[in-house]
Amino acid sequence: MAGKQVQVRFCVPDLQKERANCSFNKEEITNIFDGGEHNTETRRKLQNIIFSDPNLQDPIPPDYMSHEQRYENELRKAVYVMKKFMTDPQLQDIGGGPEAIKWMYNSILRHAIHKDGNPLMLHFGMFLGAIMGQMSEEQQAEWLPKAMSGEIIGTYTQTELGHGTFLRGLETTATYDPVTDEFIIHSPTITATKWWPGGLGKTSSFAVVMAQLHIRGQNYGPHPFVVQLREHVTHASRPGITVGEIGPRLGLNSNDNGFLRFDNVRIPRTNMVMKHSKVLKDGTYVKPKSAKLSYGVMVLTRVGICYDVCWQLMRATTIATRYAAVRHQSELEVGEAEPQIIEYQTQQYKVLPMIASVYAIWFAADTLRHTYMEVQKNINKGSDLDLLPELHASSCALKALFSTDVTDGISVMRLGCGGHGYLASSNLPRIYTSTTPSQTYEGENTVLWLQVARFLIKSFREASKGGRLQPSVAYFKNHQTQTRRITDLSNSGLVSGYERSVLSMLEAVAKQLQQYSEEGMRYEHAWNACSVRLVNVAKVHARYIVCDQFVKALAKYEGSSGVRQIMDQLCRLYMIYSVTNDQGILLKSGALTPDQCNLLEEELGELLAALRPEAVNLVDAFDLHDEVLDSTLGAWDGDVYNRLYNEAMKSPLNKVDVPDAYYKYLQPLMKSNL
Ligand SMILES: CCCCCCCCCC/C=C\CCCCCCCC(=O)SCCNC(=O)CCNC(=O)[C@H](O)C(C)(C)COP(=O)(O)OP(=O)(O)OC[C@H]1O[C@@H](n2cnc3c(N)ncnc32)[C@H](O)[C@@H]1OP(=O)(O)O
Ligand SMILES: Cc1cc2nc3c(=O)[nH]c(=O)nc-3n(C[C@H](O)[C@H](O)[C@H](O)COP(=O)(O)OP(=O)(O)OC[C@H]3O[C@@H](n4cnc5c(N)ncnc54)[C@H](O)[C@@H]3O)c2cc1C
């Protein structure tokens, strides 16, 4: 248990001092992030088993491996994990088997096993997600056992060379042939080549393929189909299939992201993924309740990404906070001992708001997950889909906001560790390169912001007519009666300040849209001409959601008073950090005055000072195992300098005193200059 470990494990004196006085029950916080005591226990058991298994160690640090070695090493571990979970009696005790594998790959532990991506990620994430969320019961009975056991490995292939964002522009076709009861999957152009899917290059034998459904010359839009790409046993690509890997990326280089082309590949009609839309044998198309239901896997993954980036921020803040307590630099008072860098207010301003952000993200992600589950329940019951626009807008807003906040936050954590933060052994560079693509995949963020803006403008117009509003925009109903100024600076006052700012921004942009329309501009062009403003208002609305959810989550919290108190402080910090960052917007909308901004800035300084003594305890409470952190700067013991030195010794260049390259290049140069 983390609390007990504190008593017995070695750590450097600086961290001992930090840990000596903790005002709250760390274990209670650990349980929040695990989703309950039982989950904490399960995770710890799992990590004890996984991290003591020599087969899951890397033979050399992955940074020193070639492209092929990295892929092979991660695939080896992923397959080993699958087999181990199926057979190891220790794991059966804690609910082993396929469900546990899925559980683990959708938890923070996957970042510990696979440090730079994992060839089976898309299999466990989106392929299984498509089977479970998009297939009929009959189809699930056929495909799920095969996918769960690893008999088939799949991925989700949607993006093409020519189109990622604009789904309706996909060029891959699935043309129904009623004579043979088959679909013909085809890539008509170079730009129709599927491009990017994880695990596609060399790993997957099957794929869910998004293709334009054509029946008797009519295009019914993008639909998902299951296509076999590689032969059983030999794994050779099948006739009509051209498949391979797309080459090195900024990060996630073990994912074998791939390309895929189809040359009139025939699949049975029943391989169309048919929970929502169907094609009958005679070619009749059965419409879904909503055309957007086939986008459901993307929505689920956007929810998953909110958690995933939260875990990445937990890792980065743990590393940077512990390092800030161990690192001494400069002088606060002339002639005095060099202080821990965490004593500098500017350093506190780097780490503490990011620790608070972890909580903010977690609570908002949890609410989003519940909305997702409610919509799923309604879909399965066949009841109305009223909440679908809410789910779409909120999942777009939170995925876009969190992926940006966390990527920026990790960058701040790296800078907060000075030069050592730039070392691969700090793990901050890899945490960064694994997180930044979340701003692009599963919907490029600007595009998602524009989807949110579309929802806001629609809702704003609905509110003016006194129409029904979705939960996240229920506050629009007051928009005509409210004065803009807020008078109290409490959390609920600040949330209200955000509401008023969104409404003020919407009013202005709606007016501009209207004006362009009156001047004869087509709506789409007017929209484009206003899109910078539209993105801005979407961002402020997203921040409003997160602040609102944080306050609401604490209002419901029933734990100990110590934890409650520290979370109240973190919530306050998150609110003031957000509002002061956005003060230009809140001032412009008239929600705040400059004097109020000054008061908030003063309070921010006081909060940083109040939370400073708890910083290390707060990140300890995330309970991240050293293997999850994988960092010279962030390990629990704080033995930073020995770890840095030992890691440097692993550089292959240090195997010999004088490398061959010296004799080849430098020596001739140096000799010629003698
Ligand atoms: C512990 C918890 C949970 C565990 C979960 C596990 C999940 C795994 C998590 C793993 C985490 C991390 C690993 C990630 C690995 C990376 C994988 C990356 C994979 C990919 O990138 S796959 C490809 C993704 N591609 C995209 O996202 C493309 C983006 N584009 C689109 O989504 C759409 O094209 C669009 C931009 C939304 C536009 O679509 P379209 O042109 O059709 O629509 P319009 O703009 O015309 O709007 C029409 C109308 O439809 C509404 N709408 C659009 N989309 C949806 C939707 N999904 N749902 C509901 N409604 C939708 C839109 O609002 C319009 O409505 P309106 O007319 O205004 O009423
Ligand atoms: C690491 C990684 C993993 C991936 N994994 C998968 C996977 O497993 N399966 C899969 O199918 N795909 C995958 N993708 C692809 C990913 O989903 C797309 O890259 C993403 O959806 C963005 O699409 P795009 O690349 O076409 O960008 P584009 O849409 O071409 O974006 C380029 C620029 O154009 C702008 N833009 C585009 N449209 C608009 C618009 N309507 N309004 C305003 N601006 C616009 C964008 O904001 C952006 O600035 C992955 C990508 C990455 C990086």
When mean pLDDT is compared across 103-107, 121-125, 502-506, 591-595, the lowest value belongs to 103-107
**How many whole angstroms separate alpha carbon 232 and alpha carbon 407?**
40
Give the active site residue among 18, 74, 442, 627: 442
Residue 230 belongs to a domain: yes
The more confidently predicted of residues 85 and 212 is: 212
Burial label, 669 (beta-carbon count in 10 A; 0-12, 13-18, 19+): exposed
Sign of CA pseudo-dihedral 144, 71, 429, 642: positive
Give residue 71's identity as a one-letter amino acid code: Y
**How many whole angstroms separate alpha carbon 589 and alpha carbon 598?**
17
Name the token pair of 591.
């929600």
- Please answer whether residues 226 and 143 qualify as being in contact, where contact means their C-beta atoms are separated by less than 8 angstroms: yes
Q: Supply the pLDDT for residue 497.
A: 96
Is the pLDDT at 491 greater than 70? The verdict is yes
Q: Which ligand 1 atom is at minimum distance from the Cα of 444?
A: 29
Place 501 in a pLDDT band, splitting at 50, 70 and 90.
Answer: very high
Residue 439 belongs to a domain: no
Q: Tens digit of pLDDT for each residue in 40-75?
A: 998 998 899 899 999 999 999 999 999 999 999 999
Is the pLDDT at 236 greater than 90? The verdict is yes
State the average pLDDT over residues 165-187.
Answer: 98
Q: Supply the pLDDT for residue 168.
A: 95
Residue 270 belongs to a domain: yes
Q: Which ligand 1 atom is at minimum distance from the Cα of 440?
A: 21
Residue percentage of the chain with pLDDT more than 70: 98
Q: Is the CB of 258 under 6 A from ligand 2?
A: no
**Phi/psi-derived region of residue 43, left when phi > 0, alpha when psi is between -120 and 50, beta in every other case:** alpha
Phi, psi (degrees; rounded to nearest 5) at 166: -85, 90
Concerning whether 442 is annotated as a catalytic residue, the answer is yes
Is the pLDDT at 280 greater than 90? The verdict is yes
Residue 511 belongs to a domain: no
Pick the residue whose CA is nearest to atom 17 on ligand 2: 441
Residue 220 belongs to a domain: yes
Q: Tens digit of pLDDT for each residue in 138-171?
A: 999 999 999 999 999 999 999 999 999 999 999 9
State the average pLDDT over residues 1-21.
Answer: 76
Residue 646 belongs to a domain: no
Distance from the alpha carbon of residue 45 to the mean position of ligand 2, in angstroms: 38
Name the token pair of 135.
């297939």
Q: Residue 170 belongs to what domain range?
A: 158-288
Q: Supply the pLDDT for residue 122.
A: 96
Could you tell me how many helices (H) and strands (E) the chain has, helices first? 27, 11
Give the number of other CB atoms < 10 A from CB of residue 267.
18
Give the number of other CB atoms < 10 A from CB of residue 297.
25
Q: Is the CB of 207 under 6 A from ligand 2?
A: no
State the average pLDDT over residues 241-268.
Answer: 98
Residue percentage of the chain with pLDDT more than 90: 88
Residue 268 belongs to a domain: yes
Choose among 133, 143, 132: nearest CA to 205: 143
Choose among 449, 547, 444: nearest CA to 505: 449
When mean pLDDT is compared across 5-9, 81-85, 415-419, 583-587, the lowest value belongs to 5-9
Q: Supply the pLDDT for residue 387.
A: 93
* Per-residue CA distances from 616 to 318, 340, 527, 538, 629 (Å): 8, 12, 47, 34, 15
**How many whole angstroms separate alpha carbon 564 and alpha carbon 562?**
5
* DSSP letter string, 325-390: HH-B-S-SSTTSPPPBGGGSHHHHHHHHHHHHHHHHHHHHHHHHHHHHHHHHHHHHHT---TTHHH
Longest CA pairwise span in the chain (Å) = 90
* Per-residue CA distances from 342 to 332, 347, 565, 610 (Å): 11, 6, 22, 13
Q: Is the CB of 610 under 6 A from ligand 1?
A: no
Is the pLDDT at 1 greater than 60? The verdict is no
Is the pLDDT at 4 greater than 60? The verdict is no
**How many whole angstroms separate alpha carbon 252 and alpha carbon 590?**
45
Q: Supply the pLDDT for residue 479.
A: 65
Give the CA-trace dihedral at 421, 425, 429, 432, to 10 degrees. Answer: -110
- For residue 260, the domain's CATH number is 2.40.110.10
Is the pLDDT at 5 greater than 70? The verdict is no
Pick the residue whose CA is nearest to atom 8 on ligand 2: 197
| Domain count along the chain | 1
Place 482 in a pLDDT band, splitting at 50, 70 and 90.
Answer: low
Beta bridge partners of residue 230, listed in sequence order: 237
Residue 212 belongs to a domain: yes
Which numbered ligand comes closest to the C-alpha of 105? Answer: 1
**Chain center to CA of 606:** 32
Q: Tens digit of pLDDT for each residue in 361-413?
A: 999 999 999 999 999 999 888 888 899 999 999 999 999 999 999 999 999 99
